[in-house]
Amino acid sequence: MKKFLFSTVVVASLAVSSQAEVNLKDISLGADIGTTGYGVTAVKKLSGFDDKWGVRVGYHQYSKTYNKTSDNTKYKFDLDLGDIQLMADYHPWNTAFKLTFGAMYNGNELDGKITPNSASQIIIDGTPYTSTDLGGVDVKVDFDNTIAPYVGIGWDTSFYKPNKTWGFTFNLGVAYLGSAKVSYSPKYGSVSSAIIDAKLEKEKASLQDDLDDFKYLPFISIGFNYKF
């Protein structure tokens, strides 16, 4: 997934950068950090269309592994955050303030493993199972919307401080991710798969309820850019 995100944003950035041969002063490149990780951006001002509009592409990525033991059960989760953004920035007063409309490729996902603890037990829906009963459970969480609509406001000095090449960027908005989807893949042991599946369905329903509050992803980023 990370390779796909990176290669896609490179292609998009090259498409924007190709316009630099026409008018370098209408291009800015930057870096930022936000709720979906570290990122890079490229902005093209649409000076031939309307001085108030710009097109922006961006890429963000962040990964972290979490290890936790709860109820005598070991959990390991790999969190991958990532997005590719295609945005239109509208500066209504020809100042750094902007309104943003667009979409982002939603590459956010969570992969986990539930494994026996030192006592060789896994607790599922309050019931302990030995490593012979159940070898482990793989967990995956992702979202309905691969392409998430986005709206926001922000601040970008790229083209509104003519005597400066370095600028400041700030974005505040929200993306609609849709409903989270939870899936379990158990490694069956001596206990009937029907019993394990019924227990996991209860766990899944509980986790699904908790995740229903995360349909909307708040997005905040702050960074800098260089204007050609």
Question: Which residues are 16's β-sheet partners?
Answer: none
Tell me which H or E stretch contains 199. helix 193-211
> How many whole angstroms separate alpha carbon 173 and alpha carbon 102?
11
Distance, CA of 43 to CA of 64 (rounded, Å): 29
Residues paired with 226 in a beta bridge: 29, 166
What are the boundaries of each domain within the chain? 2-227
**Mean pLDDT of all residues belonging to the chain:** 84
Query: Is residue 17's pLDDT more than 70?
Result: no
Query: pLDDT tens, 133-146?
Result: 888 899 998 888 99
Alpha carbons 2 and 81: distance in angstroms, whole number = 9
Q: Minimum mean pLDDT among 54-58, 96-100, 114-118: which range?
A: 114-118
Nearest to 159 by CA among 62, 40, 60, 29: 29
| 2-227 belongs to CATH 2.40.160 | yes
